[in-house]
Amino acid sequence: MSLIEMISLVLGVVSTSLAIFSLVISIINERRSQLNYERTRQLLSDIDKRSATTESIVGEHFQKLMNTMLSIVESATTDSNVKTAQIQAQSQQNASKMQEKLMEIFGELAKSGDAEKAKTFIEMFKGIASSGK
């Protein structure tokens, strides 16, 4: 065997060894990369859960804060006369709605022509009128 053949053989063995070594290193790096990927996914999942919890807690407390602020502003700006007027207006609205309902019932009763129902309606109306006094 000549010197050139010997050097060629040694270089072939070295290049084959380096190729095998590079394959082993690439497999190890791929496994590490996959492991890091899985860890990162798990951490992101945990972060997402914690951020959702934090968001809901902050949202609840913010809502409580806003309700408190609104009640403070309302109590500071609402005069007792205004409150009384609001209550009276609501009462009048309710009375108006009640009258509308009674008129609807009376209209249906008049269309039906049933005397018993008419008597029952009149008694009911008297009861409502006497309770309103």
| Chain segment 68-86, per-residue pLDDT in tens | 888 877 776 666 777 777 7
Asked if residues 121 and 108 have their Cβ atoms less than 8 Å apart, the reply is no
Contacts of 102 (CB under 8 A, 6+ apart): 125, 128
Predicted pLDDT of residue 78: 64
Helices (H), the chain: 3-77, 80-112, 115-131
Give 41-52 pLDDT, tens digit per residue. Answer: 999 999 988 888
This prediction has a pTM of: 0.40
21 C-beta neighbours (distance < 10 Å), count: 10
Residue 105: band (very low, low, confident or very high) from pLDDT cuts 50, 70, 90: confident
CA–CA dist 18, 12 (Å, integer): 10
Give 21-71 pLDDT, tens digit per residue. Answer: 999 999 999 999 999 999 999 999 999 888 888 888 888 888 888 888 888
